[in-house]
Amino acid sequence: MTTVIHAEKLSKRYRIGERERYHTLRDVLTRALRSPLSFLRRSHHETFWALRDVSLDVREGEVLGLIGRNGAGKTTLLKILSRITRPTSGWAEIRGRVGSLLEVGTGFHPELTGRENTFLSGAILGMSKAEIERKFDEIVAFAELEKFIDTPVKHYSSGMYVRLAFAVAAHLEPEILLVDEVLAVGDAGFQKKCLGRMSDVSSHGRTVVFVSHNMTAMRRLASRAIWLDGGQIADSGPVAEVIDHYLRKNNESNLESVWEDERTAPGDDRVRLRSVRVIPLAAADGLITVHTPLRIEFTYWNYVPGAVLNVSMILNDLEETCVLSGGSGHGPRPAGLVRSTVTIPGDFLNVGSYYINAMIVKDGSVGILLQNNTVSFEVVEGEVVGSWYGRPPGAVRPKFHWETETFERRAVMASTVTEQR
Partner 1 sequence: MASLTASPQSPDFPLPAGASTTVRIEPPRGLFELRLREVWAYRELLYFFVWRDVKIRYKQTAIGILWVILQPVLNMLVFTLFFGRLAKLPSQGLPYPVFYFAALVPWTYFSYALSSTTNVVVDNQRLITKVYFPRLVLPFSAALSGLVDFAIGFVVLSIFCFAYGIPPTFAVLWLPVLLLLALFTALGVGLWLSALNALYRDVRYVIPFLTQFWMFASPVAYPSTLIPERWRWLYGLNPMAGVIDGFRWAITGHGQAPGLILLVSVAAVLLVVLGGLFFFNRMETSIADHV
Residues within the interface to partner 1 (CB under 8 A):
2-4, 6-7, 10, 14, 18, 22-26, 28, 60, 79-98, 100, 102-103, 106-107, 109, 111-112, 116, 119-120, 123-125, 128-129, 175
- The count of other CB atoms within 10 Å of the CB of residue 284 is 10
User: Least CB distance from residue 17 to partner 1, whole Å?
Assistant: 10
Q: Are strands 224-229 and 366-380 parallel, antiparallel or unpaired?
A: unpaired
User: Least CB distance from residue 28 to partner 1, whole Å?
Assistant: 7
What is the H or E stretch that residue 379 is in? strand 366-380
User: Least CB distance from residue 57 to partner 1, whole Å?
Assistant: 8
Nearer to partner 1, 103 or 256 (CB): 103
Q: What is the DSSP letter of 43?
A: P
User: Least CB distance from residue 91 to partner 1, whole Å?
Assistant: 5
Nearer to partner 1, 39 or 91 (CB): 91
Q: How far apart are CA 208 and CA 56, in angstroms?
A: 14
Largest CA distance in the chain: 95
User: Least CB distance from residue 224 to partner 1, whole Å?
Assistant: 18
Q: How far apart are CA 352 and CA 74, in angstroms?
A: 18
Nearer to partner 1, 111 or 150 (CB): 111
Q: What is the DSSP letter of 366?
A: E
Q: Do residues 216 and 384 touch, judged by C-beta distance below 8 A?
A: yes
Listed residue (195, 247, 231) closest to 381, CA to CA: 247
Handedness of CA 183, 189, 193, 199 (dihedral sign): positive
Nearer to partner 1, 27 or 403 (CB): 27
Nearer to partner 1, 183 or 271 (CB): 183
Nearer to partner 1, 8 or 144 (CB): 8
Nearer to partner 1, 85 or 343 (CB): 85
Handedness of CA 362, 363, 364, 367 (dihedral sign): negative
User: Least CB distance from residue 80 to partner 1, whole Å?
Assistant: 6
Q: Give me the phi and psi of 163, to 5 degrees please.
A: -60, -45
User: What residues are paired with 312 via a beta bridge?
Assistant: 327, 359
| Torsion angle, alpha carbons of 133, 135, 141, 142, to 10 | -130
User: Least CB distance from residue 203 to partner 1, whole Å?
Assistant: 18
Residues in the chain: 421
